[in-house]
Amino acid sequence: MQVSMGVAVAGATGYAGGELLRLLLAHPEIEIGSVTANASAGRRLGELQPHLVPLADRVVAPTSAETLAGHDVVFLALPHGASAQVAEQLGSDSVIIDCGADFRLTDPAAWQQFYGSEHAGSWPYGLPELPGQREKLAGARRIAVPGCYPTTATLALLPAVTAGLTTADDVVIVAASGPSGAGKSLKPHLLGAELMGSASAYGVGGVHRHTPEIAQNLAHCGAAAPVISFTPVLVPMSRGILATCTTPLSDPSLTTDQAYQAYADAYADEPFVHLLPSGQWPQTQATLGANTVHVQVAVDQAAGRLIAVAALDNLTKGTAGGAVQCMNIALGLPEATGLPLVGVAP
């Protein structure tokens, strides 16, 4: 490819938008076009995203069909419900990659139950590690980037499901997360004074919107009727998700070594999934700013459960990095182009 692709980012002043721009700045085949937002239109990006030094003097444009038109790729990093509207107005000449939820679920009833609004439809689901999914994303013109928790939990459990180590009919997931996943929202419980030094659960009892998305993914992996109990926990770090996922054993005599081998086989060729050395457990720090997922697995025969833990950066592999990975696949670029493999630790 000799000519750079022009890329626009809608929602450029939020956390996901900022992370998209961070990654796109390091991408060798991309030229950043419009950066748009609504409330902050007209301000310089340097005031709002001071880490994006090379874009400091860019002026934020309003998010509209006009400002987003004419780009090879348009990333949408908008609140739930806003993407569908914008997408409608954009022609078919742009690849649209939506970091929001609007087009993730294939089941209208699940959408209706968890989001309480009309289902906008579904787009190719941007988790290339799902069986057969990489092929569907090649050449795609519309992509729905997964939620950050579903990416983490799915990649923790995928080999267990595809290898038949579990029926996934009583999966329990508890995921610790930093607040950047909630975006730059001015809500009291997201204030620093509330969060620092504190852990708290939210969306408890099967009501979190990422629950049906995780089930959809495990079904995609071959689970006949996945049942998910999912609880997110806010903890005091800006970024990062650590998902502890337990699922019943199909065979009560399964050993940790056997499970580890299944994971090693499943992920042998995945560029961004890193199975840690046996016995070493993931820490989110090791994935900070990288597009990697660190995974480990153990079997607890006494409990009859397999426990898989995955760590990732919710803004990178969990959102913007995953989105760029999808863009690479959609455009026929090498999948890892421009994406960091090494976290910023400690």
Judged by CB under 8 A, the chain residues 181 through 210 that form the site for a second copy are 182, 184, 186-188, 190-202, 204-206
d(CA 70, CA 50) in angstroms, rounded, equals 27
In the list 122, 133, 258, 283, the residue contacting a second copy (rule: CB under 8 A) is 283
The token duo for 9 is 């980012």
For the question of residue 148 being annotated catalytic, the response is yes
Residue whose structure tokens are 């049942």:
227
The 10 Å Cβ neighbour count of residue 71 is 22
Phi, psi values for residue 7, rounded to 5°:
-130, 135
Nearer CB in complex with a second copy: 124/322: 322
d(CA 153, CA 244) in angstroms, rounded, equals 8
d(CA 25, CA 19) in angstroms, rounded, equals 10
In the list 5, 12, 15, 339, the residue contacting a second copy (rule: CB under 8 A) is 15
Residue 291 beta carbon to a second copy: minimum distance, rounded to whole angstroms: 10
The answer to whether the CB of 275 falls within 8 A of the CB of 256 is: no
Nearer CB in complex with a second copy: 320/329: 320
223 touches a second copy by CB under 8 A: no
Helical H segments across 26-137, by residue range: 45-48, 65-68, 82-89, 108-115, 133-137
64 touches a second copy by CB under 8 A: no
Phi, psi values for residue 316, rounded to 5°:
-95, -100
Residue 139 beta carbon to a second copy: minimum distance, rounded to whole angstroms: 29
176 touches a second copy by CB under 8 A: yes
Interface with a second copy in residues 22-41 (CB under 8 A): 22, 25-26
Would you call the peptide bond into 346 cis, given omega within 30 degrees of 0 as the criterion? yes
Residue 310 beta carbon to a second copy: minimum distance, rounded to whole angstroms: 10
Residue whose structure tokens are 């997922």:
293
Nearer CB in complex with a second copy: 164/206: 206
Residue 177 beta carbon to a second copy: minimum distance, rounded to whole angstroms: 8
In the list 18, 100, 147, 318, the residue contacting a second copy (rule: CB under 8 A) is 18
338 touches a second copy by CB under 8 A: no
In the list 166, 296, 319, 328, the residue contacting a second copy (rule: CB under 8 A) is 296
Kindly list the catalytic residues.
148
